[in-house]
Structure 1
Amino acid sequence: MNMHVLTVPHRGYGTKAAGQDPSDDSTEFKVLADALEKRNREFGEFAEKAAAEVKKHGTALDETAAALAKAREEVSDLAARMLEMEQKGARRPSGEPEIKSLGARVTAATEFKAFAGGGRKGTQRIEVKAITSAPNSAGSLIVPDYQRAPVMLPHRPMTVRQLLQPGRTASNLIYFVRQSGFTNNAAVVAEGAQKPESNIVFTPDQAPVRTIAHWIPVSRNAFDDVPGMESLIDGELVYGLDYVEEQELLFGDGTGEHLDGLATQATPFAAPTGLTSSASAGSGVDKIDTLLAAIVQSEVALLPATGMVLNTIDWAQIVSSKDSTGQYLGNGPFGSQQGRSIWDLPTAVTPAMPQGKFLVGSLGTSAQIFDRLDAEVVVSSEDRDNFIKNMLTVRAEKRLALAVKRPAGIIYGSFRAAA
């Protein structure tokens, strides 16, 4: 049994002023409704044909595109004429047919009468078709409400870059010198005695600029005709760049064309003596203690921590930690989720960090991003055979380098797993 959505009848259908024959309007309205239904079917057929041609040839044939546009115009015109008729009819003072509510139509249905008259109990399915076939049904006047804006996939917030020191470069290579040793022989000396000699050791290092890029093909018609398509494509491509950038900033292994990431160059976590957590392994409190130990490890290296990166699940376990009385250790559900922080440090909460892992340290002073090229989106019709196929190539790219100048100030480690 097919079930359909009930449609509400329009008040102007078949109405006339007192003393006038309502059949004239009723007949004309029926003709328009039938015509609209026919053109709606044709519009759907042309749309399917155009989609098939785009898939096969990259664009719809001129003949199909013209027919599709004509059908769209005729559907709009017919709908407007029917709307005008019903509005005129609604303003007339009398002759208006009875409009039954949904409940009234259900109780009038044959199935309902048989069910009620028989004194039966249980559930009875009422065919909506029997209800919507009433003379006052809107019929073919219902036109699909096309939502022109596509529903896009969700985007992950990018938060790691905000913790790092920003910079720019006009070169393809960042060259810097890192102090790797200091022999301090400073001492008090007697007058006339030889002064002690100290020694400072420097080690050269470099961070090459890397390119992150991708492209997509798109038909010229879709790019020009669909509202907002250009900005949607630009937004998705730039998001793709940012997504890969964040992965590279954290875990790039430095091989090939990859960045040398923060976790790759970081100092392994080792809790300073006396700072081992006594809480249950894997608990939120245990994670809080572990992060404090990592902060202290960074400070012992004389590089005070400026931020941390956590997985979303680990963050949730930490902020939901409670004491022995069931009270939240922090502000609980009423604390602000803006400007997240733990131990008074800005915290990037992101699925990019694997669950059970953390990165803590002097991120704002020990590492720096050098942007060579901000995200750029370029559209071209000259790529390969784009011109003869009426296609476009949309390319997005960015160039940057990551210099980790003080690895001792960045701590990467794992939380204890639950026993």
Structure 2
Amino acid sequence: MVSLLDVLPARIVPPSYTFIRQSTRTNNAAPVAVAGTKPTTVLGITSVENRLRVVAHVSEQLDHYMLSDAPNLEKFVSDEMLYGLRKAVETEVISGDGTGEHFTGILNTSGVVTQAFATNALTSIRKALTALSVSDYAPAAIVLSAGDWEAIELLAVTSGATDVQGAPIDPTARRLWGVPVVLNQGLGAKTGLVLGEGSVTIDHDGELDTRWSENVGTDFTSNSLRCRVEGRFGVSVNQPGAVVKVATAA
């Protein structure tokens, strides 16, 4: 299943880094008479200091012989641990509150546009796409909870189906109004996101460490192993004005 981390651009950065944020965009380009004063366009550029945070977890004890007797078990555990790490990073990217070692996620970034609920989730998201278009931003992805995506799909089989007949809901490709939809359960109820191209970047150090060890507590004497997976990540909300927080229900 395609996730948020699959649709957002990523870049390698040092442990402490700076990114550029555009807080406003006012285009005042216009014809100018000879020797006339040129108008000033306001780009609202600010420099934001950030740093990578460690995201990690360790598995429970696993018996040495269980691992050796089931050749695929080690890969299964490693894959599950990687899955858990990705889910944790996604949650931070969306809703990290910026305290301690938490990211400052999209929902807690100042300047994000809001779209009030309008009729149903389908209509609300379409209005959010319009908000991006009005500001000349192209949509890159829609982020929804599984429940909200289900509600949108079920619009086609309810008594109000005629309201959405012909609307571009593509369940197979998971697209809405022609835009890819990714699901995330960390988003919370009644909330969706519409992300403009280049509005958010995933930052990391280029390394993802998976290790097995018997050197935890009594693991060595009990013939046990544990898996540890960790990486360093951050998020840059480059253009808050190209992100729309959508109310998907009243």
1:329 aligns with 2:164: yes
Q: Matched residues in 2 for 1:242 and 1:179: separation?
A: 27
Deviation at 1:344, TM superposition (A): 1.0
**Please, what is the CA RMSD of the aligned residues?**
3.1
The one-letter code matched in structure 1 to 2:15 is: N
* Number of the residue aligned with 1:174: 17
* Number of the residue aligned with 2:76: 232
1:378 aligns with 2:211: yes
Structure 1's consecutive aligned runs of 4 or more residues displaced over 6 angstroms after TM superposition are: none
Q: Matched residues in 1 for 2:5 and 2:224: separation?
A: 35
The one-letter code matched in structure 1 to 2:237 is: V
| Among candidates 188, 192, 195, match of residue 358 of structure 1 | 192
State the Cα deviation string for residues 127-162 of structure 1 (Å, max 9, x = none).
Answer: xxxxxxxxxxxxxxxxxxxxxxxxxxxxxx461112
Runs of 5+ in structure 2 lacking a partner? none
Deviation at 1:304, TM superposition (A): 2.2
* Number of the residue aligned with 2:129: 295
Runs of 5+ in structure 1 lacking a partner? 1-156, 280-285
Residue aligned with 1:257, SS: coil
Residue aligned with 1:259, SS: coil
Q: Matched residues in 1 for 2:55 and 2:239: separation?
A: 25
Evaluate the alpha carbon distance shift between residue 160 and residue 205 of structure 1 in structure 2; reply closer, same or farther with a 3 A threshold. same
Q: What is the aligned-residue identity percentage?
A: 23
* Number of the residue aligned with 1:160: 4
The one-letter code matched in structure 2 to 1:210 is: R
Equivalences for 1:20-99 in 2 at 5 Å?
none
- Normalising by structure 2, we get a TM-score of 0.81
1:344 aligns with 2:187: no
* Number of the residue aligned with 1:318: 152
Q: Matched residues in 1 for 2:162 and 2:135: separation?
A: 35
Deviation at 1:368, TM superposition (A): 0.9
Q: Matched residues in 2 for 1:176 and 1:376: separation?
A: 25
- Normalising by structure 1, we get a TM-score of 0.51
The one-letter code matched in structure 2 to 1:269 is: T
* Number of the residue aligned with 2:92: 248
Deviation at 1:316, TM superposition (A): 1.9
| Among candidates 180, 187, 198, match of residue 40 of structure 2 | 198
| Among candidates 256, 261, 279, match of residue 105 of structure 2 | 261
State the Cα deviation string for residues 340-397 of structure 1 (Å, max 9, x = none).
Answer: 11111111134333232111130x3111112324432101234455434433232111
Q: Matched residues in 1 for 2:170 and 2:123: separation?
A: 22
* Number of the residue aligned with 2:239: 406
Structure with higher Rg: it is: 1
Count of paired positions:
244
Larger proportion of helix: 1
